[in-house]
Structure 1
Amino acid sequence: MKNLYLRFVRLIEIFENTICAAGLVLTTVLVFAQVVNRYWLHFEIMWLSDLALYFFTFFMLLAIALTTRVEGHTSVDVFLETFFKGEHMAKSRAIYIMILNLISIVIMFAFLPVVLKFTLRAITYPEYGTLVRWFNTSWLVECMFMMLVLSIFHSIHNVVVKFIDYRRQYVIPVSQEGK
């Protein structure tokens, strides 16, 4: 069961990395094409910049989930480095990081019903772009919901992993000393 879960987590990591990398390349190509068309060929394609903006927003939302996975935005480094520096503070540092992740999970769960309401509305009533008429802008709201669910998943996973590491490092060795 543990191996199946770890494979699932690895699949999500591969999906996020691939999608975010593809989004970065695609957005860069679209912006480059728009610049070449506008300033070199003097043939502006009006909808190209809107499409680049839609793609950028879509992939940026998915990148938020990726940064949650690597704990890129869930900690305040200045506070952490100021008050929890040195080896003697490692135990307190680990507790602080777990508490921050738990607070983040509570906040994300608080936003979940609102985002779900917007997502269900976006699914029921699709809205299309003005210049890129085939682009359903409701996909961006649906992507925001997917980002929130992935962020909650990653945060819970990170808390469980940190808790297991904390137990291995600080709780179990202390209890084995008495034996």
Structure 2
Amino acid sequence: MKVSLVAIVGIFLLWLCGLFVVQPFIISSDSMQPALKSGDRILVNRTAYWSARIARGDLIVFEGQNSFSAESGSFVKRVIGIGGDRIACCTEAGHLSINGAAVTENSYLYPGDLPSEVPFDALVPDEKLWVMGDHRSESADSRSHLGDPGGGFVLESKVVGQARFVIWPPTRWQPLDSYSFKELN
């Protein structure tokens, strides 16, 4: 009887943890390579933004309905712009610019990819985000959805949480770090 009660309480606590604290997700595309590969399982911290603001460089999971898709679906992308930012590509040197400052993305951009093959210039509305995949040539991100109903922007309220760890396969166990755009500090 005691063992059954402990097992039930343990299962209940795991369910609560998954509901409020961390949630697993499966990566279904290569749009976030090299950080994330198709088939990776990640843990998302659902509480990350309860006391902190979403920041440029964060890896987030968000609900894409009405911004990236007509149907419900989760996406993982890197935050490039927050409300009030002007995001443009590309500078004469071929860099992405945020609020007029050219930024270096070498530490996470997929080797050989350009910041964008298509020029764009977007002003991010308040309470919305501009997101992009790290493997730009394989990513359908904010750039690809400029003409859609959400304008390619993601509502902050649609963010599920911050991607924190790759938990599967075991050969890829690693923390997922945010990137700080030093040029903007």
Q: TM-score range by the shorter chain?
A: under 0.3
TM-score, normalised relative to structure 2: 0.21
TM-score, normalised relative to structure 1: 0.22
Structure with greater helix percent: 1
Bigger radius of gyration, 1 or 2? 1
Structure with greater strand percent: 2
